[in-house]
């Protein structure tokens, strides 16, 4: 029986006939949509007999999904096969949310339809929707193990596709607590880099499993030799660090025992950002800037003009006023400030040099440089305050030490002496702070010596 096709309208066709043809097409499209909902292969065959272009037109109509999308959502296997037999490129059509029919079949777990779609075009595995998710992402989130197997066999590289926050398919498997699906992915991909891949926050799948207290998942991951238990995220936390911050309960205790048994270690966290982040080491940078500013603009400033006594130049413009007023304290100020500056620069250099901070020796060096930086920054401040106190001498005392000042400055000493009275209080509190730092430093030394003593007995090396 010859096929019956719809006559084409032309400019010479009367308007009422054009309206009639348009109405017939809309009616067929409605019947096609009904056939898709019911999975009626016979009605599809009848519609194709009436209009061979009906499937081509369905791709450009106002419907949000093609008939194949509807069939994949509802699991009509035979109807999907019939559609692909007449128009295979329907497998790559997108709906209003950027999803292919393979997305829908994968999410709903229709294995036979997935196989048919993959035979039509395996590249459909790599297409992502408007949320950046591939069919493998959806199948993993839903725990469709059979679908995951088919998708990975067709295109193994689909497992490496990342979402907007850097999450891999394995991250989704952990986040949605799909352990069996995760096992299938790990076994099929067998890529150590993918197993230890980090998202935008620096978290591996071991970090996520630990944070979600997924004990069985952690057990499985720790059995895999390719899993790195010492990886730190962007906050400087290892998996063991995450456990240590949880309130103690039975799950936390078991997780900690598992990680310690697997030789996981805690990261030594400084008050600066770790090198795995893209942010600069803020603390060290600020202290370096402060020390640099103090070196070019010391307390009290510099002389604006040459200071003369008759024809003799006492001080040149640009030299430090503090050096004149406090000749003994100024070298100490420069020494403290220079040590603080160099220590902060050393910290920055170590952080951006690319050295692995997981090494115990290097982390201890960084911690020591930060201690030195903070202590000598405090000493620089203290020396500055003492210099201001030293200025409150009588003018005749200044002349007696050889630090003569211009006559115009003499009256200012008397006026400033009362307004600067709170400075001794600031100096006192600075001394208290330094004493507290010294005590804390001694506590750390004692704790570390105890660890060394304990490790010498057990053979365990302290972190």
Q: Report the alpha-carbon distance of residue 409 to residue 29 in Å, rounded.
A: 97
Are the beta carbons of 276 and 235 closer than 8 angstroms?
no
Split at pLDDT 50, 70, 90, the class of 103 is very high
Which pair of structure tokens corresponds to residue 212? 């979600």
Q: Is pLDDT at 461 greater than 60 in this prediction? A: no
Q: How many CB atoms lie within 10 A of CB 340?
A: 25
Q: Report the alpha-carbon distance of residue 259 to residue 227 in Å, rounded.
A: 12
Q: Report the alpha-carbon distance of residue 423 to residue 125 in Å, rounded.
A: 71
Split at pLDDT 50, 70, 90, the class of 410 is very low
At residue 339, the pLDDT reads: 83
Are the beta carbons of 70 and 85 closer than 8 angstroms?
no
Q: Which of 78, 76, 71, 32 is nearest to 53 (CA)?
A: 32
Mean pLDDT across the chain: 77
Are the beta carbons of 54 and 16 closer than 8 angstroms?
no
Length of the chain: 463
Provide φ and ψ at 308, rounded to 5°: -120, 150
Q: Report the alpha-carbon distance of residue 463 to residue 454 in Å, rounded.
A: 13
At residue 217, the pLDDT reads: 94
Q: Which residue stretches of 109-144 are H helix?
A: 111-120, 135-142
How does pLDDT run across 439-459, given as a tens digit for each residue? 877 887 787 777 677 655 544
- The torsion of the CA quartet 450, 455, 458, 461, rounded to 10 degrees, works out to 160
Decide if domain 164-267 falls under CATH 1.25.40.20: yes
pLDDT mean over 243-267? 85
pTM listed for this prediction:
0.55
- Residue 316: CB partners within 8 Å, gap ≥ 6? 303, 306, 307
How does pLDDT run across 310-364, given as a tens digit for each residue? 666 666 666 777 777 777 777 887 788 788 788 777 777 777 665 555 555 666 7
% of the chain exceeding 70 in pLDDT: 71
Q: Report the alpha-carbon distance of residue 258 to residue 252 in Å, rounded.
A: 10
Q: Report the alpha-carbon distance of residue 440 to residue 462 in Å, rounded.
A: 20
Q: Is 407 helix (H, G, I), strand (E, B) or coil?
A: helix
CATH architecture of the region 1-7+17-161:
Alpha Horseshoe (1.25)
Enumerate the domain spans of the chain.
1-7+17-161, 164-267, 282-458
Split at pLDDT 50, 70, 90, the class of 27 is confident
Are the beta carbons of 35 and 49 closer than 8 angstroms?
no
Q: Is 302 helix (H, G, I), strand (E, B) or coil?
A: strand
Q: Is 362 helix (H, G, I), strand (E, B) or coil?
A: helix
pLDDT mean over 41-54? 85
Burial class from Cβ neighbours inside 10 Å (0-12, 13-18, 19+) for residue 212 reads middle
Q: Which residue stretches of 262-359 are H helix?
A: 282-296, 321-325, 329-352
Does the fold of domain 164-267 match that of domain 1-7+17-161? yes
DSSP structure class, residue 320: B
Q: Report the alpha-carbon distance of residue 198 to residue 194 in Å, rounded.
A: 9
């Amino acid at each position: 029986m010859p096929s019956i096709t719809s006559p084409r309208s032309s400019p010479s066709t009367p308007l009422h006939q054009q309206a009639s043809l348009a109405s017939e097409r809309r009616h067929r499209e409605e019947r096609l949509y009904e056939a898709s909902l019911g999975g009626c292969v016979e009605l599809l065959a009848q519609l194709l007999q009436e209009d061979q272009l009906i499937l081509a037109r369905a791709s450009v109509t106002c419907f949000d999904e093609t008939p194949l999308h509807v069939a994949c959502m509802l699991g009509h296997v035979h109807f999907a096969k019939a559609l692909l037999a007449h128009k295979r490129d329907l497998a790559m059509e997108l709906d209003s949310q950027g999803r292919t029919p393979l997305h829908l079949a994968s999410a709903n777990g229709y294995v036979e339809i997935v196989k048919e779609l993959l035979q039509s075009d395996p590249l459909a595995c790599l297409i992502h929707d408007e949320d950046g998710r591939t069919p493998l992402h959806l199948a993993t989130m839903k725990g469709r193990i059979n679908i995951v197997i088919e998708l990975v066999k067709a295109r193994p590289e689909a497992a490496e596709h990342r979402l907007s926050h850097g999450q891999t398919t394995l991250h989704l498997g952990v986040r949605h607590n799909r352990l069996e699906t995760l096992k299938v992915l790990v076994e099929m991909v067998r890529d150590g880099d993918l197993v230890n891949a980090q998202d935008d926050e620096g978290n591996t799948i071991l970090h996520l499993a630990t944070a979600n207290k997924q004990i069985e998942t952690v057990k499985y991951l720790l059995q895999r030799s390719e899993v790195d238990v010492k990886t730190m995220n962007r906050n400087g936390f290892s998996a063991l660090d995450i456990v240590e911050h949880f309130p103690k309960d039975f799950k936390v205790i078991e997780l900690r025992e598992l990680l310690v048994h697997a030789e996981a270690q805690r990261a030594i966290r400084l008050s600066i950002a770790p090198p795995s982040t893209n942010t600069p080491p803020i603390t060290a940078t600020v202290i370096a800037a402060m020390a640099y500013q103090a070196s070019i603009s010391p307390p009290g400033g510099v002389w604006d003009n040459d200071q003369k006594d008759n024809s003799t130049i006492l001080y040149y413009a640009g030299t430090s006023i503090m050096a004149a007023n406090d000749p003994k304290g100024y070298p100490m100020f420069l020494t403290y400030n220079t040590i603080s500056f160099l220590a902060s620069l050393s910290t920055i250099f170590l952080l951006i040099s690319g050295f692995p901070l997981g090494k115990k020796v290097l982390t201890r060096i960084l911690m020591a440089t930060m201690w030195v930086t903070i202590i000598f920054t405090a000493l620089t401040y203290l020396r500055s305050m003492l210099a201001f106190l030293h200025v409150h001498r009588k003018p005749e005392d200044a002349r007696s030490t050889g630090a003569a000042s211009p006559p115009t400055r003499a009256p200012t000493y008397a006026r400033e002496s009362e307004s600067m009275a709170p400075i001794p209080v600031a100096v006192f509190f600075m001394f208290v702070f330094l004493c507290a730092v010294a005590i804390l430093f001694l506590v750390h030394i004692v704790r570390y010596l105890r660890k060394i003593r304990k490790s010498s007995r057990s053979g365990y090396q302290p972190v």
